[in-house]
């Protein structure tokens, strides 16, 4: 099997390779390690089943993760 490369293909492959490498370099340098503190801690999160309110409203929810 023979591969034929003309000047246009070589330039296209070179530009594509340089673009991909530049994107990897930029993405690697944008990564910042930030610590996000939450108030939940180690407590178990419970769902909200009802909320007391003076208004008469109904809400329909679906738990897809169940």
C-alpha to C-alpha distances, 44 to 1, 41, 47, 58, 66, nearest whole angstrom: 62, 9, 10, 26, 16
Instruction: Identify the band that residue 11 occupies on the pLDDT scale cut at 50, 70 and 90.
Output: very high
Contacts of 63 (CB under 8 A, 6+ apart): 47
Structure tokens belonging to residue 56: 């008469």
pTM beyond 0.85, yes or no: no
pLDDT value of position 36? 66
Taking the C-alpha atoms of residue 66 and residue 52, their distance in angstroms, rounded to an integer, is 25
Predicted confidence (pLDDT) per residue in 21-62, tens digit: 999 988 887 766 776 666 656 667 777 777 788 888 887 877
């Amino acid at each position: 099997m023979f591969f034929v490369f003309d000047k246009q293909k070589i330039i296209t492959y070179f530009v594509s390779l340089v673009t991909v490498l530049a994107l990897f370099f930029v993405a690697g340098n944008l990564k910042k390690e930030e610590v996000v503190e939450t108030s939940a801690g180690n407590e178990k999160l419970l769902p909200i089943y009802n909320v007391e309110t003076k208004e008469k409203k109904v809400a329909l929810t679906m738990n897809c993760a169940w």
